[in-house]
Homo-oligomer: A and B are copies of this chain.
Amino acid sequence: MAVSSFPCIQPVRPPFRPCSLFSAGVCGRFSNKKKINAIVFASSRKLDKDIYLQSKVDTLLDSIKWDDKGLAVAIAQNVDTGAILMQGFVNRDALATTISSRKATFFSRSRAALWTKGETSKNFIDVHDIFVDCDRDSIIYLGKPDGPTCHTGSETCYFTSISDLLEEQEVEENNLALTTLYSLESTISQRESELAGQHGKPSWTKRLLLDENLLCSKIREEADELCRTLEEKEDNSRTASEMADVIYHAMVLLRRKGVKIENVLEVLRKRFSQSGIEEKQSRVTTQN
């Protein structure tokens, strides 16, 4: 597709939008007086709506199973990559603040105070949605970090592998907890760095990184083979295998271009969060 858009991918569920109450900043019980006063002069209809929404927030906060210290666990997760960025605790006020500000906010047990991630470093975590678990005592802040989350400068706080510590091998520094796609990306990146130093073992990845023609011919070939699993009604395991080939080879190209898979996922997310507008357009043109 030459133009970077899908004609219409309507999301199953629209992305998190704070309601008018939240944008007015009066969510939670601890908002400042000025903001509350501003609401007093608003139309009675808006006020009714705000009171209704405030009661919904209160009901929600009441439904959380706070522990004996009034806390619940909150986990911040990158909405694109799925990386667990950090984990903290929230009290009622911290969760209310996150709902209203959309910045991941926690309760610091050591300082006994609210703490918005990024208030010092400016690396906030912009919260797109919040999920509670089946027991209502654990929360996910699904969001996008503005920069490295950890105070050490690491992308996430989880960079120490127990298997590294216990195996008889040197502990790698900053060995992030990576899921499959990002482990693969990291491996490809490692192969590239070995190329520069003329060390390391021979590998297919290195050959691809060094030979643009080979790389592009493989990507076209793998895409064709993926299609043929549909056209020729091959079994599902073959489809999964060919898709794996497509992803791997395309990720080598991304590395050659210096593009991270996270950037690609961000493009995808932004496309389908825009689709509300696109969807309306589609009603007129019906071209989608």
Min CB gap A83→B, angstroms: 7
A220 contacts B227, C-beta separation under 8 Å: yes
A190 touches B (CB below 8 Å):
yes
Interface string of A1-42 (1 = CB under 8 A from B): 110101111111100110100100000000000000000000
A21 to chain B, nearest CB (A): 8
A168 CB–B CB distance under 8 Å: yes
Q: Cα distance A156–B180 when bound, in Å?
A: 18
Verify A166–B204 contact, CB threshold 8 A.
no
By the criterion CB–CB under 8 Å, are A80 and B161 in contact? no
Q: Is A274 an interface residue (CB 8 A)?
A: no
Q: Please list the residues of chain A having a beta carbon within 8 angstroms of any beta carbon in chain B.
A: 1-2, 4, 6-13, 16-17, 19, 22, 53, 56-57, 60, 73, 75, 77-84, 86-87, 99, 129-136, 138, 140, 142, 150-152, 154, 157-168, 172, 175, 177, 179-181, 183-184, 186-187, 190-191, 201-205, 207, 212, 215-216, 218-227, 229-231, 236, 238-248, 250, 253-254, 256-259, 263-269, 271-272, 279, 282-283, 286, 288
Q: How far is the CB of A267 from chain B (nearest CB, A)?
A: 4
Instruction: Decide: A80 and B142 in contact? CB cutoff 8 A.
Output: no
Copies of chain A in the complex: 2
> In the complex, what distance in Å separates the CA atom of A86 from the CA atom of B221?
40
Which B residue's beta carbon lies closest to that of A135? B157
Residues of chain B lying within 8 A (CB to CB) of residue A226: 219, 250, 253
* Option from B130, B151, B242, B266 in Cβ contact (under 8 Å) with A163: B130
